[in-house]
Amino acid sequence: MSDLLAAATTARANAWAPYSRFAVGAALRAESGRVFAGCNVENAAYPLGQCAEASAIGALVAAGERRIVEVLIVAGAPPPCLPCGGCRQRLAEFADDDTPVRVAGPDGAILLETTLGALLPHPFRLRPPTALASEPRAAADRLREAANTLSPVIGLVLGSGLDAVAARIETVLEVDSRDLPGLPVPAVEGHRGRILLGRLAGVPLVCLRGRPHLYEGHPPAAIARPLRLLRALGCRIVVLASAVGSLRPDIGPGSIALVSDHLNLFGINPLVGPNDDRIGPRFPDLVDLYDPALRAVLRAAAASRGVALAEGVLAGVLGPCFETPAEIRMMRVLGADLVGMSMVPEAIAARHGQLRVLGIGVVTNLAAGLAPSPPSHAETLAQAAAAADRLGALLEAAVPELVRCP
Ligand code: HPA
């Protein structure tokens, strides 16, 4: 039995429902992972009782939590007991439209699985004015208000040590990820968590300086949110740049490498959970995920500037450990040339939302077992910083062509 189901079932057993005789338990998972449960509490002025969802929300908010990522309700036998209109709106104050809502019967069997968005008619989609709202569109609106003259077409995601690329951007607005409710905030040294609107080589773009990683403990779906923000801001192309290790001695530290394809070895996927059909299909295909035409543009830009550009398959791993030498040998057999702890789930989320993807790895080290000294985060940061200016120059040359690329 899942922790949510156990909590909702226990709460239901304590429900105070002497008037309706219909006991309900609800359990909510907060973004921190903590679970809060509640039951319905009736009184003699029935039907002015309190719903189980409202009780659970009260407990969650009183504990200082502000975001709900999963909802489970346990009630009587079918038909499934959906949240009432008031509770749907209560949930919407703290949850995204894609938040899963499951309803179980008394035996724990799931009777219905949906999302909060699917339960909310338009009039219920009002958001509080102070941006407790947490879906990417709310963040997009705030950014859009502040930079209403810019129509960004490219999103640029910069990872560890690649800040020097951002220095080339003519900034219109820079905000902290923390000021945009609903976005996971990067927590690793070298990942700043800033969002910048501006122009690179005259091309309007949004740059995410720093990215959240799954190894920080974010739920997989949270990794999709920055990509959905870029999409909501109007971006149609996303350039994902990150530090990577190389499995090929001929692609040494300091190299810049196009990602041609990937092996998802994370064991998880940012699209797990209910699908939001308004963003993309349930089963997106990943053929040519790393857009061949955009790659050709980058190759041409590199050739014209005399910048060496490698290319290879990226193995995406959860981290945070660097790999063992045996794992690296395994990945080599599987066909990987590069290895990294970000990019792959972002590329999947981008594809789901019909963004064209360009993946660029900055090689910071030879992977475990291939160099005399083991890989380290300090080395990653230092090598990425050393290559960042070259990457910035390359992107400056390529970006005007990328936006013209059919
Ligand atoms: N492994 C995984 N991720 C990395 C590496 C590595 O060797 N270097 C930079 N990111």
Among candidates 26, 66, 29, 24, which has minimal Cα distance to 273? 29
Q: Are residues 164 and 218 in the same domain?
A: yes
Q: Are residues 144 and 119 in the same domain?
A: no
State what percent of residues in the chain have pLDDT above 70.
92
Q: Is residue 128 part of a domain?
A: no
Q: Looking at 123, 154, 178, which one is the last position of a domain?
A: 123
Q: Is residue 346 part of a domain?
A: yes
Q: Is residue 354 part of a domain?
A: yes
Q: Looking at 70, 99, 123, which one is the last position of a domain?
A: 123
Q: Are residues 68 and 192 in the same domain?
A: no
CA distance 60 to 274: 23
Q: Is residue 99 part of a domain?
A: yes
The mean per-residue pLDDT over the stretch 36-60 comes to 92
CA distance 358 to 289: 8
* 244 C-beta closer than 6 A to ligand 1: yes
The mean per-residue pLDDT over the stretch 136-145 comes to 62
203-221: per-residue pLDDT in tens? 999 999 988 899 988 889 9
- Which of 191, 328, 341 maximizes ligand 1 atoms within 8 Å of its Cβ, making it the mutation to test the pocket? 341
Write the residue with the smallest CA distance to atom 9 of ligand 1: 244
Write the residue with the smallest CA distance to atom 6 of ligand 1: 245
Q: Are residues 117 and 190 in the same domain?
A: no
Give the pLDDT band (50/70/90) at residue 45: confident
CATH number, residue 373: 3.40.50.1580
**What tokens appear for 76 in the block?**
């009587």
Residues catalogued as catalytic: 160, 191, 213, 215-216, 243, 341-342, 365, 377
The mean per-residue pLDDT over the stretch 313-318 comes to 98
pTM (whole model) above 0.75: no
Q: Is residue 129 part of a domain?
A: no
Distance of CA 379 from the midpoint of ligand 1 (Å): 10
Q: Are residues 157 and 104 in the same domain?
A: no
* 253 C-beta closer than 6 A to ligand 1: no
Strand partners, 338: 246, 314
Q: Are residues 87 and 164 in the same domain?
A: no
CATH number, residue 89: 3.40.140.10
The 3-state DSSP class for residue 38 equals: strand
Annotate 1-26 with b (16+ C-beta within 10 A) or e (fewer): ebebbbbbbebbeebebeeeeebbbb
Q: Is residue 160 part of a domain?
A: yes
25 neighbors 11 (Cβ within 8 angstroms)? yes
> What average pLDDT does the structure give for the chain?
89
Task: Give the total number of structural domains in the chain.
Answer: 2
Give the pLDDT band (50/70/90) at residue 176: confident
Q: Are residues 312 and 373 in the same domain?
A: yes
Among candidates 240, 281, 289, 298, which has minimal Cα distance to 263? 289
64-107: per-residue pLDDT in tens? 999 999 999 999 887 888 899 889 989 999 998 888 999 999 99
Q: Is residue 298 part of a domain?
A: yes
Outline where DSSP puts E strands in 186-273. 194-200, 203-209, 237-246, 256-264
Query: Measured in whole angstroms, how far is the alpha carbon of residue 57 from the centre of its chain?
Result: 24
Q: What is the largest CA-CA distance in the chain?
A: 81
111-138: per-residue pLDDT in tens? 888 888 878 764 444 444 333 334 455 5
Q: Are residues 106 and 170 in the same domain?
A: no
Write the residue with the smallest CA distance to atom 7 of ligand 1: 245
Q: Are residues 243 and 375 in the same domain?
A: yes
**What tokens appear for 275 in the block?**
């699908």
pLDDT value of position 158: 94
Angle at 206 between CA 204 and CA 207, to 5 degrees: 125
34 neighbors 63 (Cβ within 8 angstroms)? yes
* 340 C-beta closer than 6 A to ligand 1: yes
Domain that holds residue 375: 134-402
pLDDT value of position 130: 37
Residue 217's φ and ψ, nearest 5 degrees, are 105, 5
8 neighbors 51 (Cβ within 8 angstroms)? no
The mean per-residue pLDDT over the stretch 51-67 comes to 95
* 375 C-beta closer than 6 A to ligand 1: yes
Q: Is residue 307 part of a domain?
A: yes
Prior bond of 292 cis (ω within 30°)? no
Q: Are residues 178 and 234 in the same domain?
A: yes
Residue 223 DSSP one-character state = G
Distance of CA 185 from the midpoint of ligand 1 (Å): 21
CA distance 345 to 159: 14
Query: Measured in whole angstroms, how far is the alpha carbon of residue 42 from the centre of its chain?
Result: 40
Q: Are residues 211 and 307 in the same domain?
A: yes
Q: Looking at 94, 123, 152, which one is the last position of a domain?
A: 123
* 266 C-beta closer than 6 A to ligand 1: no
CA distance 230 to 157: 10
* 49 C-beta closer than 6 A to ligand 1: no
Q: Are residues 261 and 154 in the same domain?
A: yes
